[in-house]
């Protein structure tokens, strides 16, 4: 890294920016510890910064909804959610109508996630999948990335008590 700079915006509270900027400017080498951890070292090979990939980024991409409130989908509607973690947005299909909305996360809790301002198109739709899906999205407070099963990546969107309310399977 060479000559890292930042804005001069004043930040309230305990601001770690000066220490982070110094660490970045002192960095001369790095080591990838695992797929989720990166360590930066100064000229004396002393660790100056340790970075951890946030699990939230693992949601990036398109996921099929396989269960809502523990129940299989029965009315041939195939909802899916596309997560754009860089833009902090979701889009997809709630079962019949297209949807999009905002993602809110919390750095203090790496698994916290809330969907805000979810908007849908307004086609008349048969069945109960869409209203159930939209109601479930309103109650999401966290997520879990589950171990791969049969070569498929799965995740759960959970309520405030940690109970899975939407189960997802990543599209290839």
For 71-107, write each residue's pLDDT tens digit. Answer: 998 778 899 999 999 999 999 999 999 999 999 998 7
Q: For residue 96, which of 81, 78, 72 has the smallest C-alpha distance? A: 78
pTM equals: 0.73
For 40-62, write each residue's pLDDT tens digit. Answer: 999 999 999 888 777 888 999 99
Helices assigned H by DSSP within 80-128: none
8 Å CB contact between 68 and 132: yes
Sign for the CA dihedral angle at 171, 83, 69, 53 comes to positive
Three-state DSSP state, 25: helix
């Amino acid at each position: 890294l060479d000559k890292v700079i930042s804005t001069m915006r004043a930040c309230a509270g305990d601001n770690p920016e000066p220490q982070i900027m110094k660490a970045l400017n002192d960095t001369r080498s790095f080591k990838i510890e695992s797929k989720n951890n990166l360590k930066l070292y100064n000229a004396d090979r002393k660790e100056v910064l340790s970075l951890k990939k946030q699990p939230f980024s693992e949601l990036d991409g398109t996921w099929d909804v396989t269960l809502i409130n523990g129940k299989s989908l029965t009315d041939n509607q195939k909802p899916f959610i596309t997560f754009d973690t860089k833009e902090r947005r979701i889009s997809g299909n709630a079962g019949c109508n297209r949807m999009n909305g905002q993602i809110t996360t919390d750095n203090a809790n790496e698994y916290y996630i809330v969907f805000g301002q979810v908007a849908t198109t307004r086609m008349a739709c048969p069945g109960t999948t869409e209203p159930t899906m939209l109601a479930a999205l309103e109650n999401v407070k966290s997520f879990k990335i589950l171990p791969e099963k049969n070569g498929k990546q799965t995740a759960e969107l959970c309520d405030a008590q940690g109970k899975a309310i939407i189960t997802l399977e990543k599209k290839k």
